Structure 1
Amino acid sequence: MLNELNNIVTFLNNYIWGIGMLVLVVGSGLYFTIRLHGFQFVHFKDMWSRIIDKQDSDSGISAFGSFCTTMAMRVGTGNVAGVAVAIYMGGPGALFWMILAGMTNSAVCFAECTLSVLYKTRIDGQYRGGGAYCAERGLGWKKYGAFMALILMIGTSVFMPAAATYTICDGFHNAIDIPMWVSALIIALILAVVVIGGVKRISAIASMIVPFMVTVYLIAAVVIIVMNITAVPALIKTVVTSAFAKNAVFGGTIGVIIQQGVKRGTFSSAAGMGEASPTAAAAETSHPVKQGMANAAGVWLDTVIICTASGLMILLTDCFNTAGGYVGSGSAELPALAAAGTNGVVFVQLACKTVMGKIAPTFIAIMLALFSFTCLISYYYEAETAAMYLFQGESKAKARKIVTWIMRIGMPVLIFIWGNLESDIAWNLSDLALGSCTWVNMLIVLLLSPKVIALYKDYEEQMKAKKDPYYNPNKLSWSGVDKEMWKDINKKYIENDK
């Protein structure tokens, strides 16, 4: 039965992740980069400064808390196992396209998060927003908004956790031989405790874990890179040349190389799929562009920095195989892995083992557990926000509570099931959810792009005037925007400008 399910999911993914997705993701990234005058380069410093704002309120979390919660979702399996899978399928050249996708995808993330903040509203005293809210409030597409919310709720609570859960269980199984089902059970129980506390607890835990795990992982990567520093120039040449032509050594056609780089870059950053939008909307901020900037910086940290670090560790130590027949020489275990077709996190574990020795597999397993677990708690928040949209209104208050508790119990149960899957089906299920969400979300983002451009122009004008940018609904007055909420948020700014 699982084989049949995997065949169906693979068939669907071949269409969802075909040439159309490549055009959509890369094209949208280039479109927003051009229309926003390369903001991710022009405002590079400003982009990072928006992360550190720790002002929150009863209705919203701080920009820093929102950033950490979003990074909890971004920095996960895609940064470690995803990079390894991309290199296995597409060779070293896939890393080039992954980095490029990260740079352009940051503009897409900026657009979707800016829109999410613009069209957010208060439900049960908490800020809620996302693609579904943008569809209804920005375009008047209420039915499409409900469809988007349903896709996001199912995708983030049912299918997308499959890869993250499998990766945690597989990491500990490889490192210290813990049975997969035991790890899955522990993850499920801890997740249940966290999500019962709601968005405030999720944000607090993410704010504690994310900075620590990112710092430790990058330090380990820097050590390995420095110890192999003499090989870096030759490797850069290999990555670039392999990105534009089929390599006789590593195999893989140019189409597969680009597809793998873009797919894993998109999976890692989640830019365009609407996954970061609800968390961005939860932030307390005076201008939508501020939070859009913070989230764009997150894509750089996730894909351009952390994914590159993982890729360099694997490639510099030659601890990888490819589907095209290449077998690395960095570890005596690689020939056996090639024969079995095994790939993924084990490549990173072997790379670290060249420097750390026997503790490397356990170290990576712990890092993966932190990366992937924070992914899971973020997935839950995205699903809960989608459910809040589907059951909004006073008449559905009771239904909201029931659905919320169903997810708080049901998602940990599914986590236990996903932890016992095979690698292929786990990743295929996650790819299916990601691809589906991306298609339905990007239509809304592109149709509302004039609003993004207008907000960015307003932000730049205020910056040039040496003002702290804020959104004034009396100046940029659009239907669907919760004007009273924004007047309340920026009451002091508006009064000072009178």
Structure 2
Amino acid sequence: MFDWFNDLVAALNGPIWGVGMLVLIVGSGLYFTVRLGFFQFVHFKDMWSRILDKNASDSGISSFASFCTTMAMRIGTGNVAGVAVAIFMGGPGALFWMILAGMTNSAVCFSECTLGSLYKTKIDGEYRGGGAYCAQRGLNWKAYGAFLAVILMIGTACFMPAAATFTICDGFKNAIGVPMWVSALIIAVVMLIVVFGGVKRISSVASMVVPFMTVIYLIAAVVIIILNITEVPALIKNVVTSAFGANAIFGGSIGIAIQQGVKRGTFSSASGMGEASPTAAAAETSHPVKQGMANAAGVWLDTVIVCTASGLMILLTDCFNTQFGYVGSGSSQMAALAAEGTNGVIFVQLAVQQVLGAIAPLFIAIMLALFSFTCLISYYYEAESAAMFLFQGEKKAKIRKIVTRTMQFGMPVLIFIWGNVESGLAWNLSDLALGSCTWINMLVVLALSPKVFAMYKDYERQMKAKIDPYYNPNKLSWKGVDVEMWNEINKSRIEAEK
């Protein structure tokens, strides 16, 4: 039924995810890493401490709530099924490039989230920001900002949810035989209930679910690693040699390993796409760089830690196949899966089954449901923020309410549909949304990079002076920054300077 549509989407993904994307993401990551003095290593401890800031207000959520809401988007489908797909498509070496991409992508995420916080403003009493706001307010690119908002709104509301929804449904089908449409219907209904509560309810759900699901999942990974600890040295060697196309047993080339590692690493963290900046802008923080730091730590947790955990579980138990003909022997089902061309979450379920036994598929299905559902609610907030940009102004307040209600009902309907399509179409749709948004958003991030470097310099100056960093727009500001808002946020500190 959807074959022609899948072929069209796959054809569009070809040039979007070609060599140009590798140059854009890897090049930008290295550029920001070098220009920011390798901040993700220099400020490693500080980066993680910014997550725990719990200051909130009527206008904004806390940095911790913002972090959890952002992680709700990051720690999801890409961390489980995405890693399995990367290994199937690119061999074990894809994991190496995924980890490396995570380290450099943290600098990209830092930059876009710092900018999102810097150029945020208030709409209907709440902080709103993101790539479109940066384009309009920071670069005076009004038409481009509107174009970016439209693409991001369509991408996050319509297409990005496809892979997450399909993966939840597929997980429960594999585990206990629940029909895909039943799981899709339940997800849609719960989604409707959550998004009707707005950003406060979304961040509240994320703050409760994200820490719990992450810890439980990592515990399962640690158990598997410990039980297979003697295999780790050989595994590391296999991953590294495969990363450079030197391990013939797994097939593939260095080009495919890099492409899949960077592609899935970028999908997992969404660095550069613009997904994280709306949530970063929603946070109550005294300095934009603080929120940039918190979000950069999120990329490490997501791609460097959780994705690595998934990869190690799959590889240590030998529960994986590759498109080049390698068939794992960790489970009796691997040969049948290879013959069918099946891959994805089933690899992780079989890997955990080696330790937890028959309950493993259900355990992973539940973890994946939590991971992917939090992705979905985060996607909704990002789409809503883009919609708010398109209909700014007091005269459009009624239009904003209508659009919001339409999205609150419309997105669950699409979620139900995506839960009943083929795996290939679901992933291709999500890749199309991610890739398109990344190309459009990164132009804004790179164009505003001098502002990122200036803000980071201001942050470092205060840190060296042993001052809790805060942003004074009267000393360091540019056209488009909401000076009045920032003066209000840091009122007491700015007045103390006088």
TM-score normalized by the length of structure 2: 1.00
Residue 13 of structure 2 is matched in structure 1 by 13
Residue 163 of structure 2 is matched in structure 1 by 163
Letter in 2 for 1:200: K
Q: Does 1:298 align with 2:330?
A: no
Deviations 1:95-125 (A, max 9, x none): 0000000000000000000000000000000
Residue 65 of structure 1 is matched in structure 2 by 65
Letter in 1 for 2:496: N
CA distance in 1, matches of 2:311, 2:468: 39
Q: Is the 8 A contact 1:77 1:164 kept in 2?
A: yes
SS at match of 1:232: helix
SS at match of 1:87: helix
Letter in 1 for 2:311: G
CA distance in 1, matches of 2:392, 2:477: 24
Residue 345 of structure 2 is matched in structure 1 by 345
Q: 1:247 Cα deviation (Å)?
A: 2.9
Residue 373 of structure 1 is matched in structure 2 by 373
RMSD: 0.5
CA distance in 2, matches of 1:260, 1:216: 27
Residue 31 of structure 2 is matched in structure 1 by 31
CA distance in 2, matches of 1:44, 1:269: 18
CA distance in 2, matches of 1:454, 1:477: 10
CA distance in 2, matches of 1:92, 1:477: 47
Q: Does 1:40 align with 2:43?
A: no
Q: Is the 8 A contact 1:108 1:271 kept in 2?
A: yes
Q: 1:405 Cα deviation (Å)?
A: 0.3
Letter in 2 for 1:50: R
Q: 1:253 Cα deviation (Å)?
A: 1.7
CA distance in 1, matches of 2:75, 2:102: 13
CA distance in 1, matches of 2:419, 2:252: 30
Deviations 1:385-441 (A, max 9, x none): 000000110111111000000000000000000000110000000000000000000
CA distance in 2, matches of 1:480, 1:392: 15
CA distance in 2, matches of 1:245, 1:375: 33
CA distance in 1, matches of 2:303, 2:231: 22
Residue 492 of structure 2 is matched in structure 1 by 492
Residue 228 of structure 1 is matched in structure 2 by 228
Aligned length: 498
Letter in 1 for 2:366: I
Q: 1:246 Cα deviation (Å)?
A: 4.8
Residue 425 of structure 2 is matched in structure 1 by 425
Residue 471 of structure 2 is matched in structure 1 by 471
Residue 54 of structure 1 is matched in structure 2 by 54
Deviations 1:113-142 (A, max 9, x none): 000000000000000000000000000000
Letter in 1 for 2:72: A
CA distance in 2, matches of 1:237, 1:335: 25
Letter in 2 for 1:409: F
CA distance in 2, matches of 1:193, 1:489: 32
CA distance in 2, matches of 1:437, 1:426: 17
Question: Tell me, which stretches of 5 or more residues in structure 2 are unaligned?
Answer: none
Deviations 1:431-466 (A, max 9, x none): 000000000000000000000000000000000001
Residue 239 of structure 2 is matched in structure 1 by 239
Residue 248 of structure 2 is matched in structure 1 by 248
Letter in 2 for 1:372: S
Q: Does 1:448 align with 2:448?
A: yes
Q: 1:477 Cα deviation (Å)?
A: 1.9
CA distance in 2, matches of 1:223, 1:497: 53
**1:261-410 paired onto structure 2 within 5 Å:** 261-410=261-410
CA distance in 1, matches of 2:449, 2:193: 39
Letter in 2 for 1:463: M
CA distance in 2, matches of 1:477, 1:105: 26
SS at match of 1:173: helix
CA distance in 1, matches of 2:226, 2:270: 30
SS at match of 1:469: coil
CA distance in 2, matches of 1:261, 1:52: 30
Q: Is the 8 A contact 1:119 1:482 kept in 2?
A: yes
Q: Is the 8 A contact 2:118 2:481 kept in 1?
A: yes
Q: 1:251 Cα deviation (Å)?
A: 1.1
Q: Percent same amino acid among aligned pairs? A: 80
CA distance in 1, matches of 2:287, 2:82: 34
Q: Is the 8 A contact 1:246 1:252 kept in 2?
A: no
Residue 436 of structure 2 is matched in structure 1 by 436
**1:16-165 paired onto structure 2 within 5 Å:** 16-165=16-165
Q: 1:254 Cα deviation (Å)?
A: 1.4
CA distance in 1, matches of 2:421, 2:98: 27
Q: 1:168 Cα deviation (Å)?
A: 0.2
Residue 219 of structure 1 is matched in structure 2 by 219
CA distance in 2, matches of 1:85, 1:21: 19
Q: Is the 8 A contact 1:73 1:379 kept in 2?
A: yes
CA distance in 2, matches of 1:467, 1:374: 36
Residue 415 of structure 1 is matched in structure 2 by 415
Letter in 2 for 1:146: A
Q: Is the 8 A contact 2:238 2:247 kept in 1?
A: no
Q: Is the 8 A contact 1:128 1:282 kept in 2?
A: yes
Q: Is the 8 A contact 2:75 2:302 kept in 1?
A: yes
Letter in 1 for 2:314: I
TM-score normalized by the length of structure 1: 1.00
CA distance in 2, matches of 1:464, 1:137: 30
SS at match of 1:249: helix
CA distance in 2, matches of 1:246, 1:440: 35
Deviates more, 1:245-254 or 1:450-459: 245-254
CA distance in 2, matches of 1:118, 1:334: 50
CA distance in 2, matches of 1:259, 1:241: 16
Letter in 2 for 1:370: L
CA distance in 1, matches of 2:104, 2:197: 35
Query: Runs (4+) of structure 1 moved beyond 4 Å?
Result: none
